[in-house]
Amino acid sequence: MTIVDKIEKLKKEKNAVILAHYYVKPEVQEIADYIGDSYYLSKVAVGLKEQTIVFCGVEFMGESAKALNPQKTVLMPDLSADCPMAHMADPEIIQKMRDTYEDLAVVCYINSTAELKKYSDVCVTSANAVKIVKALPNKNIFFIPDRNLAHYIAGLVPEKNFVYNEGFCPTHERMQAEEVLEVKKEHPEAKVLSHPECRTEILEISDYIGSTSGIIRYATESEEKEFIICTEEGVSYKLCQNNPEKKFYFPNSVPTCPNMKKNSLEKILHVLETGENEVQITEELREASVKPLERMLELAK
């Protein structure tokens, strides 16, 4: 029996479902029941009929799935798969901003720990941030943790006053505009599609900016044939599957998230066999961190 057959068999026996982010390895995306961006995965996690969710992503995704579904078992193939940006703010800074600004909303990118969500008013993802920030009654927005996404959203919602935090995604931050321009020189017809976690200099030379699913949708619906993709290379699995006739190039450093890549078929099989790596969160933290997530799901409808 192959490892994939074993996973399929155990999934049925254990009443489990596999969710995967677009950044995980192709062989993991291939066996997933649901693949998507952070917003889609948080929506889909609510209302699944299966009792066990195997979440192939990073810690904040497993934590959010558990917070939204306390009665379910959420397993992660590798509990050390964590997003460094998720930790790049702290409750003291949030409190300081609350003391400094009147009429402030603390807007928390979903790429954040449950602890940070607890102190926030609403969560957003790159797919719904503009809509949600616009819908907030507050004038002042303290956006944590990602400064690149915050600057991008601020440009689209000029009626709000943004206060920035110094967080960033190491994988997207490493990409340089010069690298993108080099690829563009080789492929002048190619359109540049970027994730808003990229540096502002990259966003300024992009033809489209959006979440991972936004990038995939744009490339799939476009009449163009060549694209330079400025996000984690895992998206190439879906891009190539949807568009076998189109060409996709990445900046030469090929952005790779080491944490997303910790998910593997062997580890999925292991957690299905043993029930190990269950996401644990105290009821107090769950109740507090689920509020901004639920508000996001409500406002994004």
Q: What is the dihedral of CA 212, 63, 108, 37, to 10 degrees?
A: 10
Residue 260 as a binder of ligand SF4 (CB under 6 A): the answer is yes
Question: Which residue among 52, 113, 128, 212 contacts ligand 13P (CB under 6 A)?
Answer: 212
x-or-dash string of contact with ligand 13P, 213-242, rule CB under 6 A:
------------------------------
Question: Which residue among 179, 197, 230, 262 contacts ligand 13P (CB under 6 A)?
Answer: 197
CA 142 to chain centre: 20
Q: How many CB atoms lie within 10 A of CB 227?
A: 25
Residue 50 is given by DSSP the state S
**Distance in angstroms (rounded) separating the CA atoms of residues 125 and 185:** 32
**Residue nearer to ligand SF4 on the CB measure, 138 or 194:** 194
Residue 148 as a binder of ligand 13P (CB under 6 A): the answer is no
Residue 232 as a binder of ligand SF4 (CB under 6 A): the answer is yes
Residues 120-159 that bind ligand SF4 (CB under 6 A): none
Residue 87 as a binder of ligand SF4 (CB under 6 A): the answer is no
Residue 257 as a binder of ligand SF4 (CB under 6 A): the answer is yes
Angle at 136 between CA 132 and CA 138, to 5 degrees: 145
Write the DSSP string, 126-151.
TTTHHHHHHH-S-SEEEEESBHHHHH
Residue 85 as a binder of ligand SF4 (CB under 6 A): the answer is yes
Question: Which residue among 112, 206, 211, 263 contacts ligand 13P (CB under 6 A)?
Answer: 211
Write the CB contacts of 262 (distance below 8 Å, at least 6 apart in sequence): 77, 78, 80, 81
Q: What is the dihedral of CA 148, 227, 171, 94, to 10 degrees?
A: 20
Closest contact distance (angstroms) between CB of 12 and ligand 13P is: 28
Residue 84 as a binder of ligand SF4 (CB under 6 A): the answer is yes
| Interacting residues toward ligand SF4 by CB under 6 A | 23, 58, 83-85, 111, 169-172, 197, 232, 257, 259-260
For binding to ligand 13P (CB under 6 A), which residues are involved?
37-39, 111, 125-127, 169, 195, 197, 211-212
